[in-house]
Structure 1
Amino acid sequence: MPKIATARHARPSRGLLPLAIALVLSAQAQAQDTAAEAADSETAQLDVIEVTAQRRVENIQDVPLSITSLGGEKLDIIGSGGEDVRFLSSRLPSLQIESSFGRAFPRFYIRGLGNTDFDLNASQPVSLVYDGVVQENPILKGFPVFDLDQIEMARGPQGTLFGRNSPAGVLKFESARPEHEFGGYGQVSYGSYDSVNVEGAVTGGLGEGVAARLSVLHQRRDDYVDNTANGPGDDLEGYEESAARLQFLFDGSDTFEALANVHMRTLDGTARLFRSSIIVPGTNDIQPGYDRDKVSIDGRNEQDLDQFGANLRMRWDLGRVSLYSITGYESVETYSRGDIDGGNVYANFPPNEPGEALFPAESADGLPEHRQITQEFRLESNEWGRFDWQAGLFWFDESIDVDSFSYDGFGGAQNGYAVQRQDNTAWAVFVSGEFAATDRLTLRGGLRYTDDQKDFVAERVTGPFGPPIAPISVSPEDTNVSGDFSVTFAVNDDINVYGRVATGFRAPSVQGRLMFADATLPADELVTVAETETVLSVEAGIKADLLDNRVRLGFSVFDYTVDDQQLTAVGGNANIARLVNAEETKGRGFELDLEAYLTDNLLVTFGASYNDTEINDPDLSVIPCAVNFCTVLDPVDPSNPAAVLIDGNSLPQAPRNVYNFTARWGVPVGNGEFFVFTDWAYRSEVNFFLYESVSFTGKSLLEGGVRTGYNWNNGDYEVALYGRNITDEEVVVGAIDFNNLTGFLNEPRLWGLEFTARF
């Protein structure tokens, strides 16, 4: 088993794995003493969870990865109330999701690795795969979560089998498949702020060997925030979103299967609502005069989005091998305009009242054109005895046009226009194998070769503060070989231990937001290129089913090193975003997944993670907030007094601790069941930016949910009362650092009533 690398200054992993093994073996011994008793009685047991993290259907306990699966009732409940994909944040160990665009543009972080870049061509080190197709553009990653069979999160580099920018990990969403037997469900809920959530699905056979499934979703919420700058009335924070998915399954042959998928999404609502001077200077407290239901802005705030996609997955059984083909097409158009300064009064420093900002800032970004095409072919062995393998080819082609607009800051005329275009092509070849050395020892390994190229051009046609900037073109390209090797040892039928070494990479990225840039700067400072980043990760863990399958445990420790990590320096006094490479970033920690029936009627789950990240680059500096009202904690860069050194800082949006807990208690009543479900998620404080400051350190956040109701007729019908963020926590979760202490908030408390019928 690989040895875990030792951290330089924090060693949370030391002794944890041996202790976990000892505790599991002790529990296993107790389980053996009570196994006979358990067998004689009808006790609740945990179902086997099957995952496809290694592109094969396997028991989650046999996969040599730190992996968490989420599905069924738990997934339905924590997504109650019309929340977008961000409801998963902190609900899985080491997972953080945030957005400065609202529902349209989620940013994912696993083990602290992510990207705070808000540009519409930004790359992320967390890969999201929806129904077998990678969703590369961040806008695509916001597709609604509905009628899913399961969500899987595989932590650590996944480059061997998922080769599209996945050095941090992969989130896999799998839609519920069509079935030949007629069935489906319908669900409707109504809640606070006139929130309405309607979703459902119908499936059934269309003939011999053909089945279909139609899934639909509609969500809406009324505006509930009054913009006091334009008089009374609720103006903001509402939305209306619809999505649909139509699938056809062709499985009439013993040797061929095809699954076709067409899906769409439309969104009309408000962009992220920024609030000027919401933070008390010199602290990270919310201003006493703040009111969640009010804001005072003089700019427009709106957002719309249209997305269409299709994919075709085919499998041929060729005897000793099977051939798979996955073809995907995605296209999205979006436009988002916001009052970035978050106020309507412009005062000299220091403005310190809500609604006051240093200067007006109103801008918009759009994707008028976007197209992504992917193709994968994969060969997989069929039960070759002790050795099984898979190999394949992958092709990716994406074209993006980005429009950026600036306005006069008072909801009026356009005064700036800039454009970007990026074409990205990549191809890869990969191979992976598994060898059962003995009945207890299994070895796995894989390699992937990738070639990635981008062609990028940006120009400023008109600028609010400067002259036009002529087109600037760059064409970064690189190749990479990534791989992994793992060892799994079965201590007995119920306990596995494993070790894994893996590498991953992210291809060069480009940033060229020229709207507010200084036209006198050289071209390589106006359009910045981050070179390839690579990751080396070492991980070890234990997985166990205990007490006659009443307890399931997964525990892992990890240590990783990122060379040349791509980071985004946003905002600050320069008022532009630029890409930089950090010489090295270190991360280490542990993760725990626990699921147990404490009684036959009480099921609890607990997840925990510790992530310690550190930037190691003594010469790397960034420009902090415009004036030091945010109380910067980093030392000034001697070579550039306007910048501060960030060596030793943790990564942005990387909480050190994440915990989640759920409990479900149910008892029979009449011909049904009364139940109570509660869920809680906690993340510790985070840095919003690369530099550290008092005001831009996000406070820890604890949010809880509850659901209580009654289901009957074997669960076919259910009525429930639910609540999200039931303690009404109010925390600043992100900020703008170039224009006073402007921030945005977590979602408000929401109550609702829901009815579900299954047939």
Structure 2
Amino acid sequence: MKQNSRCVAPLILASLALPAAAQTGDTAQRLDTIVTTATPSAAPLSDIPMSVSVIDSGDLSLADAYVSAEDVTDLLTGVEAAVANGTQVAFQIRGVGAVDHQALTPTAAAVYSDGVYLATNVQTGLMLYDLDRIEVLKGPQGTLYGRNASGGAINFITARPDNDQRRYVRLGYGNLNRMDLDGAYGDSFDSGFSYRLAGRYLSRDAALDNVAGPEAAGGERDEFGVRLGLNWDSVADGSLLLRTHYEEGNGVNAAPRNDTLDLDDHEIAVGSDGIQDTDNEFYGISAEYARDIGRWALTSLTAFEGYNQEYGFDFDGAVALFGNPNFNANLAYLRDFRQYSQEIRLHTDWDGGSTMIGVSGSVENFSQTYTIWCGELDADTLLGTCPYVGAASRAGPTPVSDTAAMTLVTDIRQDRSTFAAFTHNEFDLSDSLTATLGARVTREEIEGQGSGRHIFEDGTIGYNNVGGLGLAAGSNEIEETYLSGHAALSYAMEHGTAYASVSNSYKSGGFNGEVQNNVTHFADEGLFDAETVTAYEIGYKGKTDRLTYAVAAFAQDYSDPQARIFVNFVLPDGSSITSNSLSNLDKAISYGMEADFNWQSTEQFALQGALTLLETEIDQESDIGGNADTFDGNPLPFAPDVSATFGGQYEFAATDTIDGRISIHAKYRGDYYLDPEGLKSRMQEGFTTLQAEASFTLRDTGVTLTAWGRNLTDEDYAVSGYGFIGYDTFRSDPRTYGLRIGYEF
């Protein structure tokens, strides 16, 4: 058993369409968006002593052209996303966050949907539709978002059923034969009951050009989602909001590109044997109940989230590397996940401050079968048509069959339970000076069990036994308690607020969920430890009638960073094996500054911009299987030293009956590395993406015609990578564009 206990910025309204307030001339509201999840009660962004970015309902116009959650990083600085296996998203904020493809690894930026925590990186690639806003909290969130928030938190908030709902239907068509249909309808009644039904369907042909095989390997999409919200303003002396959703993702996941191949932009080259249909289902239901109990406001959030997932792709990213058909690998995942959670908060305002106390708990069950083979797969026997290159090395010194080891199969099950108690307090030390203090204690218990085996050509099944250390089957438990928190001082001035803060948080340790080499996989040394981040930040948020701006400087101490690396393990006979697994580096630092502005020049014209300057460095002193020098001094992955955004929008009267709007937004990312080894060959050079749209609305009809474009610079860049035979990278989508017609009623 492994047991321990340890302590553990700017506003960018990257508008691509004017917010609803612009249509009423309410410039003040437009420049000071209200958030509800960064603090226990709603507060203007200018009053919150931390870096918070908000993409609100008006800003999400162009996001209707987006597909998945990672796409919104185009609107933010200091925030990046590593996308693996088609839909698994790991967000990095200010350089903090493990780049990992296994589903058991949550991101270091805690991701929430309508306040419900999404516990695995599979769920973070959620489909975007009918959103009200997206809130991004930068830096460790140790109080309200204590679990797996060492980098920050991201909350996707959907439109709420209420008395003033937008009803719409939109139909779009674009290049790559893209079809897009979405809509929402709701109503409210005098009884205090309201409802909202929203949905989206999207289909698209392959985005990448497969020059060596079937077109589908370039990544086809066929997905839909539906969401229902029911709201009662008065029930059991309070209010009750029920939300339920179901999303289905089909199509084919795009194959990676192997770096040994000479290919042009947006090209891959794989054969047909690794192409597999995708069958992903995501579903959930939540109940949010709120009422007053004396001076206290009670909020209870009960939720269930789950998914079933079946997909795969060509793992080696080539037809036959170096002309050898046995240098071929295809993989498939079969996953099942259930998550039950409960959170209760009590909040009160008192003379001179406010207090919030709360408790939360969750139970999760995860299971996965991971299969890797060579050539064509026989679904009944699980045998490929050639021996997978890694199978023989895992058979051990005394294989149980004289025939060739062909296929690898890994099973894992993980059960996790968590409980947390937390408090957030604000104290008015004077008319201008406010202190914020928050703390959270979290208890986690994780049980993991599984086995790794190979199937021989004659059908015999043997457990992996690399080095003869013991059969790859076992279990273990992790029990950990974490203390995290936040402290800040903010000083209100005539035209803004200055603040200073210190905060810390953690990201859980756990089990490596994929290939299991031998019995040591579930031993303590085969697990990865929790990481912790302590951040120090000073900043100023200013506001005039037509301008909001913010500047911040930060420094982050990053302890035990989790990283997927190749580690050399010495065997008893003096030889060694190399294992690709999630491990811990010693420490790292991340520091820099951020600045942003939002200028409403006139009622018709607005500009926004933001800049993040970031420095990161790994400090590796201990010997990681002989690889200390490999990492020491390297930057953290997916941490460009410069990221900048600039955009604007202009509203105008095209004719007496037609209103027009033009929006444009660009983001520049500097060079960044795909993993912590810092190799030049695994560096993505800097690039700029450009998004734009032009829309025309027939006045008094509710009909709008929009032309949109994403990645108009047609950049081909890596969205994640991994080492196998050579180095494989998943690639970005090329330039996409289309037309959309919508009707609001």
TM-score (norm 1): 0.84
Structure-1 residue corresponding to 2:541: 543
Is the contact made by 1:362 and 1:411 (CA closer than 8 Å) also made in structure 2?
Answer: no
Look up the SS of the partner of 1:403 in the other structure.
strand
CA distance in 2: counterparts of 1:341 and 1:738, whole angstroms:
7
Deviations 1:39-66 (CA, angstroms, capped at 9, x unpaired): xxx8955343101201211111111110
Residue 696 of structure 2 aligns with an amino acid whose one-letter code is: Y
Structure-1 residue corresponding to 2:553: 557
Structure-1 residue corresponding to 2:739: 753
Deviations 1:74-124 (CA, angstroms, capped at 9, x unpaired): 2221x243421121124212110121211x211111111112121111132
Look up the SS of the partner of 1:193 in the other structure.
coil
Question: Does residue 295 of structure 1 match 2:281?
Answer: no
Deviation at 1:278, TM superposition (A): 5.7
CA distance in 2: counterparts of 1:259 and 1:575, whole angstroms:
51
Is the contact made by 2:187 and 2:196 (CA closer than 8 Å) also made in structure 1?
Answer: yes
Q: How many residues align?
A: 677
CA distance in 2: counterparts of 1:565 and 1:291, whole angstroms:
33
Of residues 263-272 and 306-315 in structure 1, the stretch that sits farther from structure 2 once superposed is 263-272
User: Please, which runs of 5 or more residues in structure 2 have no aligned partner?
Assistant: 1-8, 11-24, 385-406, 465-470, 569-575
Residue 481 of structure 1 aligns with an amino acid whose one-letter code is: L
Is the contact made by 1:82 and 1:219 (CA closer than 8 Å) also made in structure 2?
Answer: no
CA distance in 2: counterparts of 1:396 and 1:324, whole angstroms:
17
Structure-1 residue corresponding to 2:254: 272
**1:715–1:399 Cα change, 3 Å:** farther
Structure-1 residue corresponding to 2:490: 488
Deviation at 1:162, TM superposition (A): 1.3
Structure-1 residue corresponding to 2:81: 97
**1:714–1:134 Cα change, 3 Å:** farther
Question: Does residue 49 of structure 1 match 2:52?
Answer: no
Residue 312 of structure 1 aligns with an amino acid whose one-letter code is: A
Deviation at 1:405, TM superposition (A): 0.5
Question: Does residue 589 of structure 1 match 2:574?
Answer: no
Structure-2 residue corresponding to 1:244: 226
**1:139–1:648 Cα change, 3 Å:** same
CA distance in 2: counterparts of 1:526 and 1:239, whole angstroms:
41
Is the contact made by 1:513 and 1:577 (CA closer than 8 Å) also made in structure 2?
Answer: no
Is the contact made by 1:81 and 1:189 (CA closer than 8 Å) also made in structure 2?
Answer: no
Deviation at 1:409, TM superposition (A): 3.2
Look up the SS of the partner of 1:273 in the other structure.
coil
The CA RMSD over aligned residues, in Å, is 2.6
**1:293–1:80 Cα change, 3 Å:** farther
Which residues of 2 match residues 628-639 of structure 1 at below 5 A? 637=626
Structure-2 residue corresponding to 1:716: 702
Structure-2 residue corresponding to 1:153: 136
TM-score (norm 2): 0.86
Look up the SS of the partner of 1:172 in the other structure.
strand
Is the contact made by 2:647 and 2:664 (CA closer than 8 Å) also made in structure 1?
Answer: yes
Question: Does residue 71 of structure 1 match 2:56?
Answer: yes
CA distance in 2: counterparts of 1:200 and 1:307, whole angstroms:
20
Is the contact made by 1:644 and 1:691 (CA closer than 8 Å) also made in structure 2?
Answer: no
Look up the SS of the partner of 1:86 in the other structure.
helix
Which residues of 2 match residues 275-424 of structure 1 at below 5 A? 275-277=257-259, 287=262, 289-290=263-264, 292=266, 295-302=269-276, 303-347=278-322, 359-367=327-335, 369-381=336-348, 383-410=349-376, 413-414=383-384, 415-424=407-416
CA distance in 2: counterparts of 1:209 and 1:450, whole angstroms:
38
Look up the SS of the partner of 2:621 in the other structure.
coil
Is the contact made by 1:528 and 1:579 (CA closer than 8 Å) also made in structure 2?
Answer: no
Structure-2 residue corresponding to 1:460: 452
Question: Does residue 690 of structure 1 match 2:656?
Answer: no
Is the contact made by 1:610 and 1:657 (CA closer than 8 Å) also made in structure 2?
Answer: yes
CA distance in 2: counterparts of 1:619 and 1:235, whole angstroms:
42
Structure-2 residue corresponding to 1:567: 563
Structure-1 residue corresponding to 2:666: 680
Deviation at 1:590, TM superposition (A): 1.3
Which residues of 2 match residues 198-237 of structure 1 at below 5 A? 198-205=181-188, 208-223=191-206, 225=208, 227-230=210-213, 236-237=218-219
Structure-2 residue corresponding to 1:258: 240
Deviations 1:654-683 (CA, angstroms, capped at 9, x unpaired): 222111111101212313322211111121
From 409, 421, 428, the counterpart of 1:436: 428
Of residues 334-343 and 505-514 in structure 1, the stretch that sits farther from structure 2 once superposed is 505-514
Residue 590 of structure 1 aligns with an amino acid whose one-letter code is: M
Residue 530 of structure 1 aligns with an amino acid whose one-letter code is: F
Structure-1 residue corresponding to 2:467: none
CA distance in 2: counterparts of 1:123 and 1:511, whole angstroms:
12
Is the contact made by 2:562 and 2:583 (CA closer than 8 Å) also made in structure 1?
Answer: yes
Of residues 206-215 and 290-299 in structure 1, the stretch that sits farther from structure 2 once superposed is 290-299
CA distance in 2: counterparts of 1:358 and 1:81, whole angstroms:
41
Deviation at 1:732, TM superposition (A): 3.2
Is the contact made by 2:207 and 2:733 (CA closer than 8 Å) also made in structure 1?
Answer: no
CA distance in 2: counterparts of 1:439 and 1:660, whole angstroms:
36
**1:151–1:464 Cα change, 3 Å:** farther
Is the contact made by 1:357 and 1:739 (CA closer than 8 Å) also made in structure 2?
Answer: no
Look up the SS of the partner of 2:70 in the other structure.
helix
CA distance in 1: counterparts of 2:425 and 2:79, whole angstroms:
29
**1:120–1:574 Cα change, 3 Å:** farther
